A and B are shown apart, each in its own frame.
Chain A
């Protein structure tokens, strides 16, 4: 059951990622990207990380994609771009294939032993994923957490300044 679901969702994810790359119209690419994000959220759920899935939908599919679609519509080049919309297809294709070959070498089929960490499946169902993340985030990684907050603030300021109209 799980296997069928996995392969199905994997197929959808790959197809929509491919269409992100292929579509001429950026709105089409954006919509395909949303599909990819949702597929990934399903994967996170299958990996017993529901919190991650929720964050994925909220942040990526909700916030970032909306922002992108707003910008596409703001800049108003919705009509299809005339002429070529790709360049260097051969080189890019070759490199992508090479990259795939190289990274896939890390995959060793067969029995891959886990390293026996303490977060087991049992613990996840018992305590709850959210609580575990919360614990890790606020106890072990509180400093990066705060810095991330500052980073977001700066990003907002930066975006404001860059996109400001010169009056």
Chain B
């Protein structure tokens, strides 16, 4: 019934191959972009079709085996796809948001050399991500996992001639790799542990069915889940492997929107959701996940407060929101985490695309005026509301959503997480406190961004001021659609406490319900407590917005006084808590030293010495053997006499 599921990853793969092989010859930008977008759209249509089919189906878990991959002893590994409510949600998000971003890129990347390369990589990324979310066993998922890492490298380093871009791409890939190592370790130990109990499999459904064979809360399951979580931190930019995400803003804005807001970074969350049975069995890991999620959210939010580059603010905001999602997973609120993943995809993609529209326009203006100012610096913006109305309104709507203002999508998903972090059996009020502080900071810095960019006096250089255009339809249409989703996207998951029927949570219940039941993960508390918490979080968000208005619209000189007063704190936060420097000191420089040492002492002396030594020996041999052919009769006669003496002597004395 779901036999056309394989088309979903296939279409983007086809697009990647066509654009990759023939893109250079198809000079027409519209054709290249059109092929890529159309194939993504087809993928989206198939995803929608399968989603509705699944809605109407009573059986919610479907495995589609495409082909056999390898049979090793008792282990059978197939190319297989798994369709259940979780992967259905993910494919909708990936293909839907992906199609919009492809459409956006047609206009945004206009005029770039290597246009076809961009779309080829973007489609390849979509293929990898879809393999990741549709993967029926850990190896197929890992193919997607590695593939998205690779495409992230290719796309961040798209402007490969710029050193900062290629450095950022390398950093992203290397940090990701550390996480991938964790994923593999977890997989190997899991496989080995299950095999010890007689179950030879890496298929997700079978793992879920047989997880009870492992001891709940034991050391083994804790190690396995921690290793998987390490992989998740790498992919989803949590402490300790988050340093790559802000640098990844060197890539073009559509890349930041697709990969670093909506899809790739959510792979870690998805993976935890997919293996929720295992995670629920290891309470210490869940606690670790919650702590790291909360800590990362806090850390990223503080850094985002002080940044001046529009994309950096959004990048740190992404890290912070991902921290929220991990916090949700850590306290057992799996469906809340996925819900927030979905709404975040909508509003963050809209925010990134909106910022791209602003940057594009600023760039156009500076180019027109022959200036070289930074088009991404917010201090050069201001008052763009009248120049770019569509961008402004969509941006504002998404900002309101992320701030958690009621009736917008962010409110529903965020509050669900806050409620669970307070009241869950695996939660703790302190998580709630941290999360609420982060919510306040989020509202503050997001509205700071809006006020600095779109309101107030125009700080742009006078020569460029009047040449800032609104963007073309290929850019604004996706913005409008995403803003719309950011507003209404939350209504599928309105919780009961507010009168809704939590359709989203119910839809995902077959995936998470079993684990939550088994390990008693639920949020308990009266409705009164819940209402109080909602009220508190909303008011803190509103306070954040008010503070932003105060400091950036009413009294614009306040920020300067504030930073002057708390200068060292400001510097600390502005320089990203000096974590990059710390990592350089702890890991990067020792590695470099080791490499240099091995080069000088080993490669040059030993290896080259061996090779040169061979040549030297040959030369020496030759020089020695040369004396047998001097041409001097005296030498030859001597040789003859020596021979005679030896032979006769041997005969005589033997």
**A residues adjacent to B (C-beta < 8 A):** 87-88, 91-92, 95, 98-99, 102-103, 105-106
Q: B638 touches which one: A88, A103, A105 (CB < 8 A)?
A: A88
- The answer to whether B638 and A102 touch across the interface, beta carbons within 8 angstroms, is no
B650: nearest residue on chain A (CB-CB)?
A102
Q: How many residues from B make CB contacts under 8 Å with A? A: 10
B641: nearest residue on chain A (CB-CB)?
A95
Q: B653 near A: Cβ within 8 Å?
A: yes
Chain B residues near A103 (CB-CB < 8 A)? 648
Chain B residues near A105 (CB-CB < 8 A)? 652-653
**Interface mask (B630-654 → A, CB under 8 Å = 1, otherwise 0):** 0000100010011011001100110
Known A87-B634, A88-B634; judge A106-B652 contact (CB<8 A): yes
Chain A min CB distance to B238 (Å): 83
A91: nearest residue on chain B (CB-CB)?
B638
- Cα–Cα distance between A95 and B639 once the two chains are bound (Å): 10
**B residues adjacent to A (C-beta < 8 A):** 634, 638, 641-642, 644-645, 648-649, 652-653
A-B contact count (CB 8 A): 22
Chain A min CB distance to B628 (Å): 15
- The answer to whether B634 and A102 touch across the interface, beta carbons within 8 angstroms, is no
- The answer to whether B638 and A92 touch across the interface, beta carbons within 8 angstroms, is yes
Chain B interface mostly helix, strand, loop or mixed?
helix
Chain B min CB distance to A93 (Å): 12
- Cα–Cα distance between A88 and B652 once the two chains are bound (Å): 27
Known A87-B634, A88-B634; judge A102-B652 contact (CB<8 A): yes
Q: A99 touches which one: B634, B641, B653 (CB < 8 A)?
A: B641
- Cα–Cα distance between A87 and B641 once the two chains are bound (Å): 16
- Cα–Cα distance between A91 and B637 once the two chains are bound (Å): 11
Chain A min CB distance to B25 (Å): 78
22 A-B pairs (CB sep. < 8 Å): A87-B634, A88-B634, A88-B638, A91-B638, A92-B638, A95-B638, A95-B641, A95-B642, A95-B645, A98-B645, A98-B649, A99-B641, A99-B644, A99-B645, A102-B645, A102-B648, A102-B649, A102-B652, A103-B648, A105-B652, A105-B653, A106-B652
Chain B residues near A102 (CB-CB < 8 A)? 645, 648-649, 652
- Cα–Cα distance between A102 and B653 once the two chains are bound (Å): 9
Chain A min CB distance to B75 (Å): 76
Chain B residues near A99 (CB-CB < 8 A)? 641, 644-645
Chain A min CB distance to B397 (Å): 105
Chain A min CB distance to B643 (Å): 11
- Cα–Cα distance between A16 and B235 once the two chains are bound (Å): 102
- Cα–Cα distance between A92 and B648 once the two chains are bound (Å): 18
Chain B min CB distance to A104 (Å): 9
Chain A residues near B642 (CB-CB < 8 A)? 95
Chain A residues near B645 (CB-CB < 8 A)? 95, 98-99, 102
